[in-house]
Structure 1
Amino acid sequence: MALNLLSQFPTCSLARLPPLSPMIPAARGHGNMARKIRRSASAQISEPPTLRRSGNYQPTIWSYDFIQSLKSHYKGEVYAERIEELKEAARRCLEEADGPLAQLELIDDLQRLGVGRLFEKEIDGKLKAIYMGEKEMVTEGDIHSTALYFRLLREHVFEVSPEILRRFKDETGSFRAGLCDDPIGLLSLYEASYHGLDGETILDEAKAFTSKHLRELKHIQGNIAMQVDHALELPVHWRMTRLEARWYVDFYEKKEGMNPILLQLAKLDFNMVQSNYQRELRKVSRWWDNLGLAKKLSFARDRLVEDYLWSMGIVFEPRFGHCREVLTGLLQFITTVDDMYDVYGSLDELELFTDAVDRWDINTIERLPEYMRICFLALYNSTHDAAYVILREHGLDIIPYLSKAWANYCKAGLVEAKWYNSSYTPTLKEYLNNAWISISGPIVLIHTFFLLGQKPSKESIDCLTNDQNLIRSSSLIFRLNDDLGTSTDELARGDVPKSIQCYMHEVGVSEEIAREHIKGVISDLWKKMNQHRATLSALPKSFIAAAFDLPRMSTCAYLYGDGFGVPDRETKDIVMSLVVEPIRL
């Protein structure tokens, strides 16, 4: 790979890089180019204005002053020392847990409380010890212990067969009716069933069995009823990691047998991590305000805070702060370009913009209309700024990967624009072959891959570029969740038919049936995701985690409708609970 990235940067772009952030107002420092843009614009012959559609998007609900006012006192040495004390006490709890089932339950609590990352070595060691020497003590127990063992081992990529669940079936081959008398065991089997792979029919049967009987439970109440309702809405495997931690803290506080050490640790850790989020959001908000793109390109959604929420959903750990900042800017650019392709741009303009991005050549800018010039120049410079940091720290030229991802994204958007302009309804397969790229999953995950802090190995880069299965499956779930939540509104605005409408048109079924079919496709894709996690060992664990967390974030965003386009409902509450409001200690 060529490492001479410096030759690809305009000299003035490198000269203006600040020491603190790779994302800065891109138009500044390009004085010559800006003058060329003005001369070109003034020389254009006056033409009739292009008829523009409007998405009628809501303006941002988050003011700049509000974002800059976000402050937390959960930082500094006093809190850091208290965290270390609580971590040491939690380690002792894990060491002193009486037997493998107690250890598994404690590991599950640590993970769901959002602090499992603080005990990675200890958790891996305990799971390995149980797997190698004590698994019979768990798998020969009740349905709760066996199902919990299976789920946690699968999560941590141990080879464990679902056949250990077969002894809970009766002579007819069905799960025993007596299991319904154990709601905790039923719930554990339900959660375990979502970790299946293609062909593991026993887990499909477990999912159908537990879903039916959990809904029919009448005698449960209190915390167990709350936990069942929460699981039936979404299994934990599909939930946004950080939001699940926030919910589980409240649940755990009321749980019988709650460990106060774990609760205190989870609350304090949540608040300290939240202080990092607030600092990052203030920083990226200043960048966005200085860039001025929201004012210049007013047709596009201004969703910076929501974009930050997405970046946090994809990579939540404190150590990935730089990655979150760059991803937030990337996601806002994606939002702007998406609105250009879906609503604002004419087909002729979109073909010019796609060509400019494909060439990745600043000299093509004069052919673009003014609003596209502004967008392309800001996009071009911000991408190079992010790439410069990787070059500086790792000596790695990532511009070819980033620019190719942008070109593929714009080409996919152009395909959909052509479908819309010709009133063409594709088959579901044809739609999905394009839509997994147009949803932006590949461009987000490729950026994430290079922004996770460590220099990626050649083997992992080859795996990323040669095996797109993980990115494709992750992006397709993202796409289909988006379609389930937004297709009705987007069609009303004037957009290409989505997966639901494509299937309805192709097969001749009702919208209700089409929606159920799409949900089935999502379930099958999650099985593929589970398989990818077990087989793509060349990819960093942190990247695989991000590839899982992207569709989880999409599930969260679109569970109740368009949580991105209409951000003043559930999405606002999520932002408040994760970024703004600390947990009361």
Structure 2
Amino acid sequence: MSKQCNFGFNPGKTDAFNKFKNRSGGFMESLSQDYEGLLSLYEASHLGINGEDVLKEAMEFSVKHLKSLMGQLESDQADQVQNSLEVPSHWRMPRAEARNFIDVYEMDDTKSLHLLELAKLDFNLVQSVYQSDLRDLSRWWRDLSFVEKLSFSRDRLMENFLWAIGIISEPQFSKCRKGLTKFTCILTAIDDIYDIYGSLDELKRFTDAVDRQDLKIGRTFLIDNPPVAMDKLPDYRKICYLAMINFANELAYDALKDHGFDERGYSVNNGSSDCLKLGSELFYWSSLITRLSDDLGTSKAEMVRGDVAKSIQCYMNKVGVSEKQAREHIEGLVKDSWKKLNGECVKTSFPRPIVNMSLNMARTAQFIFQHGNGIGTSEGVTKDRVMSSFIEPIPIEEFDRTVMQQGITMF
């Protein structure tokens, strides 16, 4: 907990684990039959950074014995262990983990009914905020007319909103969630234009139009100063271009209205540049995990359709190994990148919300691409996750409400 909260924690100091070791320096074999203790040890080991060898030992010890215990556990316990071995809790998207943990806790014989119902109520209340966000976004998406005018592009409002919830789930940050969703929707359309639809000549003209336009937030006035290069674009390109510009101006307007910050004419100075440099490693490792997770989930399908080589294929070509070996290597890079990201989270001077968003971007990428291309399709696992995250509330039975009322009366 000290490590997760960055509270009084000294990087590399792992003395707390020594009490679980024997005189020869290894972990005590008496721990090997305690599945809950092993699971806690395993989860804690994923908060490690480079140089913390004891956490590496803890991971190897806990994985070995958890796997050996699988056949002896009850079905719900075995499922919990299997889920953790696949994706440790430190790597999980917060809202999805909240929903999953409620289900796990409900099966616990020692559960507190009051605490359980409060958790359900909290989840449903936060979900209602997401539904309000989604109503606003649905109107915006419909008015944008991308579905009709850019029919070749992916219609992925719900999936992109899931991304935004993963990155910033707190109910009070609706405006940020909606902004992230809009950005991702527009970016998805631009990505599809470049990848699958636009001709080389059209792509050059679109790039030229963007290069010619002053895209500094708040300095684009299309009514008074329409970009000359825009006239050469086909209609579907103009719609996408204007959506991008209008979104940038919307951000500038909100910054001025809500924070009194006029971004017109704003440029990156030495101070802000130095600040970004100090945090560049935090963003780099988060982005690398996102990129590699994407490759692990989408490379097979994208190679079939003739897309560019991903990290897996690049490693196969460079070293001359099988696809399975290449995937294992990339998975190893993801694990190493998490250690680097953990280290940056401990030493960064950025505010905690920025740190959390960086962590959550990596977590959400692994969540989205865990079972394949979670953005390329809206069916299967992706649909189930969308429904459970912000469409379907957790049922609260009449008996449970009675228990809650009694509990509230007691307080």
User: Per the shorter chain, which TM-score range?
Assistant: 0.7 to 0.9
1:292 aligns with: 145
2:368 aligned with 1:557, yes or no?
yes
Q: Which deviates the most, 340-349 or 459-468?
A: 459-468
Q: In structure 2, do the counterparts of structure 1 residues 175 and 400 end up closer, same or farther at CA, with 3 Å as the change threshold? A: farther
2:225 aligned with 1:360, yes or no?
no
Q: CA contact under 8 A between 1:460 and 1:540: conserved in structure 2?
A: no
**Separation in structure 2 between the aligned mates of residue 460 and residue 200 of structure 1, nearest angstrom:** 33
1:468 aligns with: 280
After TM superposition, list the pairs within 5 Å mapping 1:17-32 onto structure 2: none
Pick from 309, 325, 334: which aligns with 1:513? 325
1:344 aligns with: 197
TM-superposed deviation, 1:341 = 1.8
Report SS of the residue matched to 1:175. Answer: coil
**Separation in structure 1 between the aligned mates of residue 172 and residue 251 of structure 2, nearest angstrom:** 17
Q: CA contact under 8 A between 1:186 and 1:210: conserved in structure 2?
A: yes
**Separation in structure 2 between the aligned mates of residue 496 and residue 526 of structure 1, nearest angstrom:** 26
Pick from 227, 234, 237: which aligns with 1:369? 234
TM-superposed deviation, 1:163 = 3.0
Q: CA contact under 8 A between 1:157 and 1:534: conserved in structure 2?
A: yes
1:157 aligns with: 6
**Separation in structure 2 between the aligned mates of residue 254 and residue 201 of structure 1, nearest angstrom:** 35
Residue 165 of structure 1 aligns to which amino acid in structure 2? F
1:219 aligns with: 72
Pick from 487, 501, 508: which aligns with 2:313? 501
Q: In structure 2, do the counterparts of structure 1 residues 215 and 390 end up closer, same or farther at CA, with 3 Å as the change threshold? A: same
Aligned residues: 379
TM-superposed deviation, 1:353 = 2.4
2:34 aligns with: 182
Pick from 41, 56, 79: which aligns with 1:204? 56
TM-superposed deviation, 1:400 = 7.3
TM-superposed deviation, 1:279 = 1.2
Report SS of the residue matched to 2:72. Answer: coil
**Separation in structure 2 between the aligned mates of residue 399 and residue 534 of structure 1, nearest angstrom:** 35
Q: Which deviates the most, 331-340 or 223-232?
A: 223-232
Residue 102 of structure 2 aligns to which amino acid in structure 1? V
**Separation in structure 2 between the aligned mates of residue 156 and residue 339 of structure 1, nearest angstrom:** 39
TM-superposed deviation, 1:187 = 0.6
Report SS of the residue matched to 1:300. Answer: coil
TM-superposed deviation, 1:254 = 1.6
**Separation in structure 2 between the aligned mates of residue 166 and residue 541 of structure 1, nearest angstrom:** 30
**Separation in structure 2 between the aligned mates of residue 390 and residue 497 of structure 1, nearest angstrom:** 40
Residue 495 of structure 1 aligns to which amino acid in structure 2? D
**Separation in structure 1 between the aligned mates of residue 177 and residue 271 of structure 2, nearest angstrom:** 25
**Separation in structure 1 between the aligned mates of residue 263 and residue 327 of structure 2, nearest angstrom:** 39
TM-superposed deviation, 1:398 = 4.5
TM-superposed deviation, 1:553 = 0.9
Residue 15 of structure 2 aligns to which amino acid in structure 1? E
**Separation in structure 2 between the aligned mates of residue 460 and residue 225 of structure 1, nearest angstrom:** 49
Q: In structure 2, do the counterparts of structure 1 residues 205 and 354 end up closer, same or farther at CA, with 3 Å as the change threshold? A: farther
1:239 aligns with: 92
**Separation in structure 2 between the aligned mates of residue 399 and residue 524 of structure 1, nearest angstrom:** 41
1:482 aligns with: 294
Q: Which deviates the most, 550-559 or 207-216?
A: 207-216
Q: In structure 2, do the counterparts of structure 1 residues 461 and 387 end up closer, same or farther at CA, with 3 Å as the change threshold? A: farther
**Separation in structure 2 between the aligned mates of residue 398 and residue 471 of structure 1, nearest angstrom:** 23
TM-superposed deviation, 1:462 = 5.0
TM-superposed deviation, 1:484 = 0.3
Pick from 109, 112, 128: which aligns with 1:275? 128
The C-alpha deviation readout for 1:254-301, integer Å capped at 9, x for no partner, is 213212222121111111111111111011101110110121111110
2:357 aligned with 1:492, yes or no?
no
1:576 aligns with: 387
**Separation in structure 2 between the aligned mates of residue 465 and residue 369 of structure 1, nearest angstrom:** 39
Q: In structure 2, do the counterparts of structure 1 residues 298 and 225 end up closer, same or farther at CA, with 3 Å as the change threshold? A: same
- Structure 1: any 5+ residue segments left out of the alignment? 1-151, 405-457
**Separation in structure 1 between the aligned mates of residue 56 and residue 367 of structure 2, nearest angstrom:** 23
Report SS of the residue matched to 2:46. Answer: helix
TM-score by length of 2: 0.87
TM-superposed deviation, 1:316 = 0.6
Pick from 239, 253, 256: which aligns with 1:391? 256
Report SS of the residue matched to 1:195. Answer: coil
TM-superposed deviation, 1:222 = 4.6
Calculate the aligned-residue CA RMSD, in Å: 2.1
Residue 210 of structure 1 aligns to which amino acid in structure 2? S
1:142 aligns with: none
TM-score by length of 1: 0.62
TM-superposed deviation, 1:175 = 2.3
Residue 295 of structure 1 aligns to which amino acid in structure 2? E
1:249 aligns with: 102
Q: Which deviates the most, 360-369 or 324-333?
A: 360-369
TM-superposed deviation, 1:306 = 0.8
Identity of aligned residues (%): 48
TM-superposed deviation, 1:243 = 0.6
TM-superposed deviation, 1:460 = 7.7
1:107 aligns with: none
Q: CA contact under 8 A between 1:563 and 1:569: conserved in structure 2?
A: no
**Separation in structure 1 between the aligned mates of residue 174 and residue 273 of structure 2, nearest angstrom:** 22
**Separation in structure 2 between the aligned mates of residue 296 and residue 399 of structure 1, nearest angstrom:** 31
**Separation in structure 2 between the aligned mates of residue 360 and residue 543 of structure 1, nearest angstrom:** 30
Residue 255 of structure 2 aligns to which amino acid in structure 1? I
